[in-house]
Every structure is written in structure tokens, then in C-alpha cells.
């Protein structure tokens, strides 16, 4: 029986991990960063990346350096350490490694010329666990770009992608609520997910709940709602127009640059009963752009 997986990743560095593995830490940006995903038992997936600065690296040398640091730690604990390192027959610019100490490590280094990044991923397990097949599948799934140029994100079962040029401004990562805020000049994209939807909607309809919970975060736009099913689920379409003196001043300032100030806001909110979650995507944009719709359509809610 195939194991159910979900994308996990940060700044476009994505691995398909078992759905019951949990993201426990993220750090860094698109040039250099790290994330870790833990299994329900004792295994862990660690992923690191760094920019290559336009020079194709010697992956074998990098792998030996990486393994030497692990060996140094093992030797300090007086633990026997041995390794196996070889070129990846299944891919160009990729090497695989194994290491054995008091724990076991199975990993892969990948260089992407298009992104100019080196990614190091490894699965660490205890000696009495047998997750080599799962580990191999995860390592096979490592990727750092989409063919359409959009930037992929994945956390706690929520997978989506953002157009190029947007940078993450802030995030809220809690068990019952996820929110990621992206910005490109004056344009913004916000992706949110709430758990326990049946509880949140127990007293209010969706429009009333969303107006109380999310609309206070929408600054400078007058908004209204209309019913709009999303992927067959009950939902709303949010429409907004720029308002206020501050927004007018900002628009005037941006008129002096090559970037138009976004005068419109479009968003979608929907209730996925299958997962008992609420989802929301909203984007500020100029006339004719359909950013919110494109981000919305990339989200698999159950």
C-alpha cells in the first residue's frame, strides 16, 4: 500500500514526505536555509541549501566535507563511524551517501544550475528502524524549482506556489492556524488555513466569521463578499477597492516609479468539510491580473 505524502518545504526547496511527518523547524531565505521534518517515532529529515555563486561545485568534495563534520561529532562520543559515497546514477549533478554510527544516515546532494543552489538532504534514523525505502523516496523527490517559475511552499499538509518576485514578509505557524504573507513592491499575497472549521462556523456563517477574523488585517481596502464555490466547496469571493487618503498618497508615489500601485483586492475563502479546515487566499493587484485565482487553484485542500 502506497504511503500518503505531502509536500514539505521552504523558499521553493521541496520534499514529498509522509503525511504523518511534521515540520518542526525552518530557518533562512532563498539563498541559504534549513528545515527539519520529524517522523512520529524517531526518524528525521534534514534539508539544507546554499547558493553556489555561479560556480559549479564539486559535489563529491562537498559530500566528504559534510560527512567529515558528522564523523568528527561521532568520534568525540567515541562512536565507530563509516560511510559510503557514490555518484547518483539516476540523476546528473547528484551524489548519494550513507553513514553509520550510533544512528544511521541516508542522504543526497543535488546541484541545480538553473537556481544556482546546492541542496543537501538526509534522513537520520535509529539503528532499529527500517525506513530506508521511505528515505529513498523522499530523497528522490527533492526539487528546488517548478517549471513555470513559481515558488513552491509546503508545510503541515498545506502546499501552494507563489509567483516569482514575491518574498515572504512574515508567517504565523500554529497547529490550528497557518498564515504566510508575501510582498512584491506594494503588491501582497496572503495564504491562510484554519483548523477545526466546524467549531469556528458553529455560531456564524462564513461571511460573518471571516469579517470578524480576517478582514481587520485588510488595511486600505473596502471589501465586500459574494457566494462562490471553490473546488465544489462552500465558499466566498472577496472583492476590494483601494480607499483612503493614505492609499491615494501611496498610489501617487508609485506612479513616479515603474510599478503600479495595486488598486484592487481579490480573495477566496472556502470550507473543506473533508479536512474540517478553512482556507483563504487574497491578493492585491492591478486591473486584469488573476493572482489570487492562480494561487487558489494550486492548493489541494484534502
Residues 158, 290, single domain; the answer is yes
Beta strands in the chain (DSSP E): 5-10, 13-18, 22-28, 32-38, 44-51, 82-87, 94-100, 103-112, 117-126, 151-155, 158-162, 167-173, 177-184, 187-194, 221-227, 235-242, 264-272, 277-285
Considering the entire predicted model, what is its pTM? 0.89
Confidence of residue 260 (pLDDT cuts 50, 70, 90): low
The string of pLDDT tens digits covering residues 138-191 is 999 999 999 999 999 999 999 999 999 999 999 999 989 999 999 999 999 999
The reported pLDDT for the residue numbered 60 is: 96
Residues 163, 294, single domain; the answer is yes
- Across residues 217-237, what is the average pLDDT? 93
Residues 173, 289, single domain; the answer is yes
State which residues form the domain around 95.
Answer: 5-140
Confidence of residue 249 (pLDDT cuts 50, 70, 90): very low
The reported pLDDT for the residue numbered 256 is: 42
Confidence of residue 86 (pLDDT cuts 50, 70, 90): very high
**CA distances, 20 to each of 16, 38, 83 (Å):** 12, 9, 29
CATH code for the domain in which residue 29 is found: 3.40.1000.10
Confidence of residue 279 (pLDDT cuts 50, 70, 90): very high
Residue 145 lies in a domain: no
- Across residues 67-76, what is the average pLDDT? 94
Residue 146 lies in a domain: no
The reported pLDDT for the residue numbered 259 is: 59
Residues 190, 107, single domain; the answer is no
All cell numbers assigned to 93: 549533478
Residues 60, 175, single domain; the answer is no
Given a cut of 60, whether residue 242 has pLDDT beyond it is: yes
The string of pLDDT tens digits covering residues 7-56 is 999 999 999 999 999 999 999 999 999 999 999 989 999 999 999 998 99
The reported pLDDT for the residue numbered 166 is: 96
The reported pLDDT for the residue numbered 243 is: 77
Residues 169, 134, single domain; the answer is no
Across all residues in the chain, what is the average pLDDT? 91
Residues 156, 294, single domain; the answer is yes
Last residue of a domain, one of 97, 114, 140: 140
Amino acid at each position: 500500500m502506497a504511503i500518503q505524502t505531502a509536500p514539505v518545504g521552504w523558499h521553493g526547496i521541496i520534499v514529498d514526505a509522509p503525511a504523518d511527518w511534521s515540520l518542526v523547524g525552518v530557518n533562512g531565505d532563498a539563498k541559504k536555509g534549513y528545515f527539519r521534518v520529524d517522523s512520529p517515532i524517531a526518524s528525521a529529515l534534514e534539508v539544507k541549501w546554499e547558493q553556489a555563486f555561479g560556480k559549479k561545485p564539486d559535489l563529491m568534495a562537498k559530500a566528504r566535507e559534510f560527512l567529515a563534520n558528522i564523523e568528527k561529532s561521532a568520534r568525540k562520543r567515541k562512536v565507530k563511524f563509516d560511510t559510503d559515497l557514490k555518484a547518483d546514477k539516476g540523476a546528473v549533478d547528484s551524489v548519494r551517501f550513507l553513514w553509520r554510527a550510533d544512528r544511521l544516515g541516508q542522504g543526497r546532494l543535488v546541484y541545480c544550475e538553473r537556481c544556482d543552489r546546492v541542496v543537501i538532504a538526509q534522513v537520520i534514523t535509529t539503528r532499529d528502524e527500517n525506513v530506508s525505502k521511505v528515505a529513498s523516496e523522499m530523497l528522490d523527490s527533492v526539487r528546488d524549482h517548478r517549471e513555470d517559475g513559481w515558488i513552491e511552499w509546503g508545510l503541515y499538509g498545506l502546499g501552494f506556489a507563489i509567483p516569482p518576485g514575491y518574498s515572504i514578509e512574515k508567517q504565523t505557524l500554529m497547529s490550528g492556524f497557518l498564515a504566510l504573507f508575501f510582498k512584491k513592491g506594494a503588491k501582497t499575497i496572503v495564504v491562510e488555513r484554519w483548523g477545526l472549521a466546524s467549531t469556528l462556523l458553529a455560531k456564524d456563517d462564513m461571511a460573518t466569521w471571516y469579517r470578524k477574523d480576517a478582514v481587520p488585517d485588510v488595511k486600505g481596502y473596502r471589501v465586500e463578499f459574494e457566494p462562490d464555490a471553490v473546488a465544489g466547496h462552500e465558499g466566498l469571493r472577496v472583492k476590494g477597492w483601494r480607499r483612503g487618503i493614505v492609499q491615494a498618497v501611496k498610489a501617487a508615489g508609485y506612479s513616479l516609479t515603474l510599478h503600479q500601485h495595486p488598486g484592487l483586492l481579490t480573495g477566496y475563502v472556502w470550507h473543506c468539510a473533508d479536512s474540517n479546515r478553512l482556507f483563504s487566499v487574497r491578493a492585491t493587484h492591478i486591473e486584469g491580473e488573476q493572482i489570487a485565482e492562480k494561487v487558489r487553484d494550486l492548493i489541494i485542500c484534502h
